[in-house]
């Protein structure tokens, strides 16, 4: 299986989210543009704040946090 990851710096976060029809709510969490009450989740079911946002993986739009554990899981999945 060939995994693809999109990663970017903090200046492009909002632009990238917009491309994927996402935005940020008043509390700083990434949400669906069409349903701002629906927050996006990581594979572990955690809501993702913009400040924690590290990237989007292929598949069913997998959101990745920037914490060490999430990044290690991502690295393991790419092996």
* pLDDT score of 67: 80
Half-sphere exposure of 21 (CA within 13 A, CB side): 5
* pLDDT score of 65: 81
Please count the residues of the chain: 79
Torsion of CA 78, 67, 54, 37, to 10 degrees: 120
* pLDDT score of 57: 77
Tens of pLDDT along the chain (79 residues) come to 455 666 666 678 899 899 999 999 999 999 999 999 999 998 889 999 998 988 887 666 778 887 877 777 777 776 6
**DSSP per residue, 21-52:** TEEE-TTSBEEESS-TT-B-B-TTS-B-BGGG
In angstroms, how far is CA 49 from the centroid of its own chain? 9
- pTM summary value: 0.72
* pLDDT score of 32: 95
């Amino acid at each position: 299986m060939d995994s693809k990851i999109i990663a970017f710096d903090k200046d492009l976060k909002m632009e990238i989210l917009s491309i994927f029809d996402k935005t940020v709510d008043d509390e700083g969490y990434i949400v669906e543009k069409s349903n701002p009450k629906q927050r996006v989740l990581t594979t572990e079911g955690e809501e993702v704040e913009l400040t924690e946002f590290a990237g989007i993986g292929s598949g069913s739009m997998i959101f990745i946090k920037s914490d060490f554990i999430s990044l290690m899981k991502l690295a393991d999945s790419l092996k």
